[in-house]
Structure 1
Amino acid sequence: MSVSQAFLQLDPRIQHYLWAEGWGALREVQERAIPVILPGDQDVIVAASTASGKTEAAFLPALTHLLQQPARGLIVYISPLKALINDQFERLGRLCENLDVPVWPWHGDVTATSKRKFLTKPHGVLLITPESLEATLCNRGTSVAGLFTRSTFFVVDELHAFIGSERGKQLQSLMHRIEVAIDRRVARVGLSATLGDMTLAARFLRSDGKAAIVDTPSAGGQLLIKVKGYEEPPKQDGSDGDGSEDHTDRATREVARHMFGVLRGSNNLIFPNSRQEVERYTHLLNELCEREMLPREFWPHHGNLSKEIRYETEAALKQRERPATAVCTSTLELGIDIGAVKSVAQIGTPPSVASLRQRLGRSGRREGEPAILRGYVIEDAIDDKASLQTRLRLGTVQTAATISLLLEQWFEPPTVGGAHYSTLVQQLLSAIAQYGGLRAGQAYALLCAHSGPFAEVSKDGFAELLRALGRQEILVQDHSGLLLHGRIGDKIVNHYSFYAAFSSDEEFRIVSGGKTLGTLPVSQMLMPGQRILFGGRTWEVQEIDDTLKTIHVLPAKAGAPPLFNGGGGRVHTRVRQRMREIYLQSSSLGYLDQEAQRFVDQGRATFRDLRMQDCLLLNQGSQAILLTWLGDAANEAIACLVMMRGINAAIGQLGVEIQKGGKQLEEIEDLLADIAIDDAPVVGEVLRNARNLERQKWDRLLSPTLLRETYATSNLDLDEAISWLRAFLGSDNCL
């Protein structure tokens, strides 16, 4: 092994282990990270591509630091997945055995005997999920300081998976609460393959944002990308028209046949965009295996499957005797050790540029092999009834925009803001359990004040939260002023589901005339009068039942269908702006096949015919489309501002869809000008009439004011929205 300065800084026993394992040299990320992490006196973010050696970049110096301490210390490794913990236990086991450092996996599947052994001697490496760490703090309050008093590092794996989420806010709070309990700062090390803005990522890791950054660019290996297009012919007349689908579309079968031809005989990952599509493509591909009298090669993997089925898929990928391909959701984006795969297939538009990069990082990991991305886009045929969405070929153009930005090494910046009152409810209840009760001032100081994890929450907001929880018997206050669990709060905290900061994904039932049409994941607020696209038809929302998670609809009257369909991820402004640039171009895109390029050319022709390059307000019959080319956070803010004026509006894939309601386009333009001129409203006020805002686990316990605030701060970008509207005032609009 070639010797370097970083190698010489490692403990001799670790050096000997690396020699024995046949390491030729440290990798670049390890060379750079070791001297930064080794002192243990600062926070560090290590960002590098998948399979670049990030785990060793953190643990080699962290273990060296641990071995240099006079008393046995503790490294706390926090993972978003139990499967990752199991992988790391195997990965670290051989190294740590040579160092006489115990490794303790801790999650729901680990035996009580193993956990008791750690509690007796809390040193070495603890591999734990946020939920198990929450349970430890909640249930072992008097011993928390003793358990973690020798902590030397918090190592957070897959950092990007936590940022901006409920689990991320929970994780921030747990690390902060441990530091408060032991009365000192513990160095935090974040590992990630996908981080768009290091400054924001550092602010997530700790609020002061002072983390050292080790950002190692990808090695620049060969990347092969091809996107194939498929056109779905018009639906035959005679369908039942209720939105149900009991047949497999022709284009879907063609995609399955092509994937079968190019993927069989090797290990791959296929990413459709929904669990339903995972099941459908797995069935179609294994049907082809049976027809060819081949062993099963295609395995499903998504969050609704049992852990036994998911483990079966992971085991099939790990073994090398037979080829195996997983058809999966984002569950296999993260760093579960499934070995190298030959290629990644993406069906439909990727959720984000960062997500696509994470998925692609699974391919091309063997020396000399390229990373391969196969994209598949399906578009409906254009006829007299084709929607604007179909004529613009929005799915294909958004896919092209995402790949274009991926090739430029741009990724969405992490979202670190938001009030997160739902997670604050959980952390407040957990902290009260940990300390056996807290006074209101103590609770605020612990969780919100100064550099606390909920620093965006004001004293007034915290007081309103306490009043709301008191009214619902979640909390009570004794005669001395101590906050304790109320009758309902006690039941919540003592239920096994309490420790997770997030709830299972919930979908709204779509009901028309008493008949259930299906379910739809809804990621934005809705109001009666708005229109949604479901099952190929346009429906008008009549009523939203938040309690029963039901949306009552009626068939919409004639008019252009909405571009919103309820699914997909939140789109960033940069992606939409790149889509507009593609429409304005005339050159071919080298990563598209002939059919996909034809789709883009058709979309460009529609774009030109409608003069969309000069148009900001597009007349579409009963609605006007405000062509903002902004991301969903700004578009939803504009829609809210419009609805404050009594006009129905919703976000779409091009901008904001405004129901004219008998108004002329000039009147809509005047209304937008009035919004731009007026002072910006208080963030929560824009949602005063909105419904179905509950997105996070404990939102149902919040007062209406706090619910609006937490939704707005997490989902709306008022600043970008108002800035765009003010620029709109000075433009020539297409009427």
Structure 2
Amino acid sequence: MSDLDPVVLHHVVNSLGWPGLRPAQRAAVEPVLAGRDVLVLAPTAGGKTESAVFPLLTAMTRDGWTGLSVLYICPLRALLNSLGPRLESYTGWLGRRAAVWHGDVSGARRRALRADPPDVLLTTPESIEGMLIGTATEHTDLLAGVRAVVVDEVHAFAGDDRGWHLLAVLERLERVAGRRIQRVGLSATVGNPSALLIWLQGARAASRDGLVVAPAASSAAPPDITLDHVGSLANAAKVVAALHRGSKRLVFCDSRRQVEELGSELRARGVTVFLSHASLSADERVRSEQAFAEARDCVIVATSTLELGIDVGDLDRVIQIDAPSTVAAFLQRLGRTGRRPGTVRNCLFLATTPGALVQAAGLLTLWADGWVEPVLAPPEPRHLVAQQLLALALQNGTVGDREWASEWNGLAPFDRSAEPIVRHLIDQGYLEIDGGLLFIGPEAEKRFGRRHFMELTASFTAPPQFTVLFGRQEIGRTDTTVLTERREGPRRVLLGGRSWQVRHVDWKRRRAFVEPVAGGGVARWNQGRHAARSFALVRAMRSVLLGADPPVTLTRRARDTLAEERARVLVDATAAPDGTTIVRTSGDVRWWTWAGHRANATLAATLGSVADPAQQPNDLWVRLRQDLTPDLWHAARATNEPLTLPDVDPRAVHGLKFAAVLPPRLAVATLAARLADLPAATEVLAEPTILTGLT
């Protein structure tokens, strides 16, 4: 701690009133000050922000950094808004400045930041991309002085395509700065911290000095966790309304529709309730989160938007409707409680279906064993290679046809392996070539040129939605089908936990004008398929059905429902402790693998001679041919052919952003690789199989 700048130390003690730094903060000071790449692991509210910012502010003063020298990157705009005032205070101790820049920041404010940059800029990868390719920002003047990048909630980036986009942007940023930029990642607990640090270090990880900072967990009191089965969302609302009155309760749901419906149910029961999810307007979310932070006897219902460290004040209780899909998400949510002296972490699970109860129980058995998912980048991001090539051409104006790969410092797959993608972009007119230089072609102008190519800044596609307005007040956004599907009676939407009657739809500008009504609203969003459950989670669910109980409090309703599910599995012979089962019923033949969606998709493709080609793979089983016999099964298993990637409907590539600029075969191959789980499929194939009802 004594290595920190004396002014920072003074304010830690006198302004913040802290007796000292927390373990993760103390452990991070020396390596961050030394310029090493660092990954800090700490639970929610573990002081991760300060572990990066305090030593970087010290380095800023010690080494005389001027201008914009630190980027603080977050996955959510709401998190940036929440952190902004805190970092403005910290930088102000030293006469420095911090500011926020993202898509909701006004043009006037951005112009002011370009003219007089802060020392620390809180932003998103998409906004950095916009700075690099936009004509309004002279990116060299603004970004050439960057010395360090802090990536908050780095695990949230690394597990999807935003992580690939972030890595590619960081490599381009190092080219602009002309130096190695220090990378500091802040993360909740993950199952593979060393691999996550190497991922964050990017192209030249082998030559970069890095360290994982992960202090041992404190010996706090064990958390208070209860698992209940309530049978419906309406019953869940009754329990939430009746329990813990006078306290602040945060309820997590795993869909926006659940958030809206539960919020409406709670409001009908006289509960002071606030909502937070991605389809509410930014103003509506901020109002809800501020009101909740200042209130006492109230409930806020949220999706994972409130999982990632956004400050909503001291909480008394966390309630989970059904179950999250990962242990990591549960740890984030559990960490929202137990922050005040004399309180303990707590979570009440309210399962609305037997399946959700079994999933929650399986998740809790993994948690009790200390298991957390590894964070793995999605394989083969060829579509983002194409995006980055176009973005680079916009950034530099022209790119040498032999030099483009050096812009990412050898980061795979943004390297020479992308030559087929470059050729395709040229052949299709997305890039043009003249005198050995590549530049933006007419097809790229046509497809992406609107709004100064801003569509190229994001690695994800948001489904089309209608903005819902009450007068001039934006409530949020709703799915198109709510306004177009055939329905008797007046058209009503449920948004912000309230029902609204649609009075007028501006189809051209995608706006729906509404007024409040007593009830009858419908909430719906096209969120696609729910997150596929992992091999480990599905196997833990099987263990629960075979008799394992998580070491938490089970209510009588939960115990009774689990007993019924276990009896059903016993009768149906769908689960075995040391292998898989094939069961013929009157309708079909199912191979109960308990392997997860991706492994089952791989198995169905690999054993195509006996699998039903018309099936949609699921988490629990693979449908086999109705004429299957033991001989056919054993013959199929006896082949030593390599695993086969799942079949992909060519129409599915439309959901992969920038897939249109790839050769079709590469787009399909990218999706196939992402649908597969080769290690889990290999493990299943090595297990014995019990045949029931086959002749």
TM-score range, shorter chain: 0.7 to 0.9
Counterpart amino acid of 2:227?
A: V
Give matches, 1:624-663, under 5 Å.
624-643=589-608, 647-648=612-613, 649-658=615-624, 660=625, 662-663=626-627
Which of 21, 42, 45 is the equivalent residue of 2:39? 45
* Aligned match of 1:570: 532
Distance 2:110 2:561 in 1: 57
The question of 1:325 aligning with 2:299 is answered yes
**Conserved? CA contact 1:351–1:568, under 8 Å:** no
1:212 is matched with which residue? 211
CA distance in 1, matches of 2:678, 2:84: 45
CA distance in 2, matches of 1:216, 1:505: 41
Residue 487 (structure 1) aligned to one of 442, 459, 462:
442
Give the corresponding residue for 1:497: 455
Match of 1:376 in 2: 350
Q: Which amino acid aligns with 1:488?
A: E
- In the TM superposition, 1:550-569 aligns within 5 A as 567-569=529-531
- Superposed CA offset, 1:133-164 (max 9, x none): 11111126994344333322100011111012
Alignment partner, residue 155 of structure 1: 150
Q: Distance in 2 between matches of 1:712 and 1:173?
A: 23
Aligned-partner SS, 2:79: helix
Match of 2:567 among 580, 587, 605: 605
- Find the counterpart in structure 1 of residue 633 from structure 2: 669
**How many Å apart are 1:442 and its aligned residue?**
2.1
CA-CA distance at 1:378 after TM superposition: 2.3
Output the amino acid matched with 1:720.
Answer: A
Query: Does 2:172 align with 1:177?
Result: yes
1:707 aligns with 2:660: no
What is residue 522 of structure 2 aligned with on the other side? none
* Letter of the 1:599 counterpart: T
Alignment of 1:440-455 (within 5 A): 440-447=401-408, 450=410, 452=411, 455=412
Partner Cα separation in structure 1 for residue 611 and residue 536 of structure 2: 30
Alignment partner of 1:692: what SS?
A: helix
Contact 2:368 2:551 in 1 (8 A): no
- Equivalent positions of 1:330-345 (< 5 A) are 330-345=304-319
- Residues 621 and 339 of structure 1: CA distance in aligned 2, closer, same or farther (over 3 Å): same
* 1:475 and 2:475 are equivalent in the alignment: no
TM-score by length of 2: 0.83
Provide the C-alpha distance between the structure 2 equivalents of 1:25 and 1:467, rounded to a whole number of angstroms: 58
1:430 alignment counterpart: 391
- Report how far residue 211 of structure 1 moved: 2.9
Report how many residues are paired. Answer: 625
| Separation (CA, whole Å) in 2 of partners of 1:587 and 1:85 | 40
Name the aligned partner's letter for residue 394 of structure 2: A
Q: How does 1:126-165 map to 2 (within 5 A)?
A: 126-139=121-134, 143-165=138-160
**C-alpha distance in 1 between matches for 2:648 and 2:111:** 51
Query: 1:61 and 2:55 equivalent?
Result: yes
Does structure 1 retain, via aligned residues, the 8 Å contact 2:535–2:680? no
Q: Would the aligned equivalents of 1:617 and 1:733 in 2 still touch at CA under 8 Å?
A: yes
1:476 is displaced (CA, Å) by 2.3
Q: Deviations over 1:493-525 (max 9, x none)?
A: 424333222111579x999xx9889xxxxxxxx
Residue equivalent to 1:619: 584
Q: CA deviation at 1:414?
A: 0.3
2:329 corresponding residue in structure 1: 355
3-state DSSP of counterpart to 2:402: helix
**Could you tell me how far 1:12 is from its partner in structure 2?**
0.9
Structure 1's 71 and 53: CA in aligned 2 closer, same or farther, altered over 3 A?
closer
* Secondary structure of 2:147 counterpart: strand
State whether residues 358 and 562 of structure 2, in contact with CA within 8 Å, keep that contact through their aligned partners in structure 1.
yes
Q: Report if aligned partners of 2:194, 2:212 keep a CA contact under 8 Å in 1.
A: no
> Any idea what SS the aligned residue of 2:616 has?
strand
**Contact 1:49–1:217 at 8 Å: present in 2 too?**
no
Which residue of the other structure, out of 247, 268, 290, is the alignment partner of 1:287? Answer: 268
**1:465 paired to 2:421:** yes
**Alpha-carbon distance between aligned partners in 2 of 1:721 and 1:226, rounded to the nearest angstrom:** 34
For the structure 1 residues 259 and 70, does the alpha-carbon distance in structure 2 shift closer, same or farther, using more than 3 Å as the test?
A: closer
Shift of 1:298: 0.8
Q: Describe the shift of the 1:689–1:266 C-alpha distance in structure 2 as closer, same or farther (beyond 3 A).
A: closer
The equivalent residue for 1:400 is 361
Counterparts of 1:106 and 1:592 in 2: how far apart (Å)?
46
Match of 1:268 in 2: 249
Q: Could you tell me whether the CA contact under 8 Å between 1:627 and 1:654 is conserved in 2?
A: yes
> Displacement, 1:265?
2.7
- Separation of aligned partners in 2, 1:72 and 1:123: 9
- Whole-angstrom distance in 1 between the partners of 2:528 and 2:8: 52
**Cα separation, 2, equivalents of 1:571 and 1:671:** 30
How far apart, in 2, do the equivalents of 1:458 and 1:689 lie? 28
- Map Cα deviations across residues 642-701 of structure 1 (whole Å, 9 max, x no partner): 45878323322313233x2x4224365246415x511345x5xx4366652443321233
Q: CA deviation at 1:444?
A: 2.9
Measure how far apart 1:117 and its partner are. 4.4
The 5-angstrom pairing of residues 659-698 of structure 1 reads 660=625, 662-666=626-630, 669-670=633-634, 672-673=636-637, 676-681=639-644, 683=645, 686-687=646-647, 691-698=651-658
Per mean C-alpha deviation after superposition, the further-off stretch among 423-432 and 212-221 is 212-221
Change (3 A) 1:680 1:98: closer
Unaligned 5+ segments in structure 1 are 1-6, 232-250, 290-295, 380-392, 518-564
CA gap 1:91/1:566 in 2 versus in 1, 3 angstroms: closer
1:584 partner letter:
L
Note if contact 1:619-1:665 (Cα within 8 Å) is conserved in structure 2: no
Q: Aligned to 1:65, what secondary structure does the other structure show?
A: helix
CA RMSD of aligned residues (A): 2.9
Q: Secondary structure at the match of 1:305?
A: coil
Indicate how the Cα distance of structure 1 residues 628 and 114 shifts in structure 2: closer, same or farther if over 3 A, else same: same
- Report how far residue 285 of structure 1 moved: 0.3
Change (3 A) 1:646 1:371: closer
Which one-letter code corresponds to 1:342 in the other structure?
D
Deviation at 1:187, TM superposition (A): 0.9
- 1:361 Cα shift? 1.4
Could you say if the C-alpha distance between residues 459 and 152 of structure 1 is closer, same or farther in structure 2, counting changes exceeding 3 Å? closer
Identity value in percent: 29
User: What CA distance in whole angstroms lies between the structure 1 residues aligned with 2:649 and 2:89?
Assistant: 59
Decide whether the 8 Å contact of 1:420 with 1:710 is kept in 2. yes
Alpha-carbon spacing, 1:706–1:175, altered in 2? closer, same or farther (3 Å): same
Distance verdict in 2 for CA 1:100–1:349, change over 3 Å: same
2:100 to 75, 90, 105: 105
Structure 1 counterpart of 2:556? 594
Give the Cα separation in 1 of the matches to 2:606 and 2:651: 15
Residue of structure 2 in register with 1:718 after alignment: 678
Q: Which of 298, 306, 330 is equivalent to 2:273? A: 298
Shift of residue 582, structure 1, vs aligned partner: 1.9
CA distance in 2: counterparts of 1:625 and 1:506, whole angstroms: 37
Q: Please give the per-residue CA displacement for 1:530-587, whole angstroms capped at 9, x wherever unaligned.
A: xxxxxxxxxxxxxxxxxxxxxxxxxxxxxxxxxxx97422212111222222222266
CA distance, structure 1, for counterparts of residue 680 and residue 70 of structure 2 = 42
Deviation at 1:284, TM superposition (A): 0.6
The 1-side partners of 2:14 and 2:75 are apart by 32
Q: 1:444 to 1:672 in 2, by over 3 A?
A: farther
Q: What does residue 389 of structure 1 align with?
A: none
Say yes or no: does 1:225 pair with 2:225: yes
Whole-Å Cα distance in 1 between the matches of residues 532 and 237 of structure 2?
A: 27
Matches of 1:312 and 1:203, distance apart in 2? 39
Question: Secondary structure at the residue paired with 2:375?
Answer: coil
Letter in 1 for 2:104: D
